[in-house]
Copies of this chain bind each other. A is one copy, B any other.
Amino acid sequence: MGRLEERGYRNTGPRRAVVAAVLRHDDGFSAEDIHHEVAVAGRATVYRTVRLLLDMGIICKLALLDGKPLYSLSHAGHHHHAVCLKCGAVTDVYNCGVDSLLDNVQLVTGSKVLGHRLEVFILCPDCAATGAP
């Protein structure tokens, strides 16, 4: 992950630690999660670095309804997220398929569609196997 230097940012110890912790996550994580995992970086640095990664498009932000933002690694391209409500695992959904809906919105409301976000709430196979919540 030498992309920091490529973009003119400095490659510092705390930043490397935060990036490493982020990359370690397959599932969704919060800024606070990262802060607990990375003893070597202060809270402010964690938040700043997370925002940096967000701006760079390395991670994306999902807003769940409890108000606490969650992040997940963003893999390439346009996609959405399926979030397991039990364990918090985040799966990407690539075949979006809402374009026809968006066309319809544009038509019916007379508005210009700038973007959209879709979140699917699931019970992942592991959690479903483990039994009820």
Give chain A's interface residues, CB within 8 Å of chain B: 61, 63-65, 67, 69, 82, 84-85, 91, 93, 95-98, 100-102, 104-106, 109-125, 128
Contact = CB atoms under 8 A, between A and B. Distances in A.
Contact of A119 (B67, B82, B112, B117): B117
A61 B65 CA distance: 7
A117 B118 contact: yes
Contacts of A113: 82, 120-122
A96 B97 CA distance: 12
Contacts of A65: 61, 63, 69, 117
A43 B67 CA distance: 18
Contacts of A84: 111
A117 B117 CA distance: 8
